[in-house]
Amino acid sequence: MKETEIKIFEEVMDIDPANPYIKEITVPDNTPERNIRVILYASDGAELISYQPAEKQESPMPEVAKRPKSPQEIKTIEELYYAGLRLEQFYNPSLDPDPYYEEALRRDSFDYRVNTAVGIRYLKER
């Protein structure tokens, strides 16, 4: 235990799966969650498990998803494939992945990824 830490509860007991231990402990008012630490020790003094809440970190919200470029503006078949795949994953009835797949197949009708994606779409529609 560190010098600045204050122990508010300690108890020695035998526990096992057949004899669980439950205890409600009151902590001093205005104690920040981050300052609470619970530790379970074995009979030889070894720390078995401990828990301390992590500090909450504020993180910025992600950018709003942007509409992909039109299929004709996209340069590569791979980008067309991923644009179509993304539109399928984040379903939006106003955005259809088919034009992206169709443009990819117009450029290379043997692209297995696009053919597979189109085949799966046709199977789901039936």
Question: pLDDT for 14-23, tens place per residue?
Answer: 888 888 888 8
**114 falls within a domain:** yes
Dump pLDDT digits (tens) for 7-66.
Answer: 888 888 888 888 888 889 888 888 888 888 999 888 888 999 999 998 888 889 988 878
Q: Token digits for 37?
A: 């630490």
Q: Which domain holds residue 114?
A: 71-120
Assessment of whether the complete model's pTM goes beyond 0.85: no
Domain count, the chain: 1
> What's the pLDDT at 13?
84
CA–CA gap between residue 72 and residue 114 (Å, rounded): 16
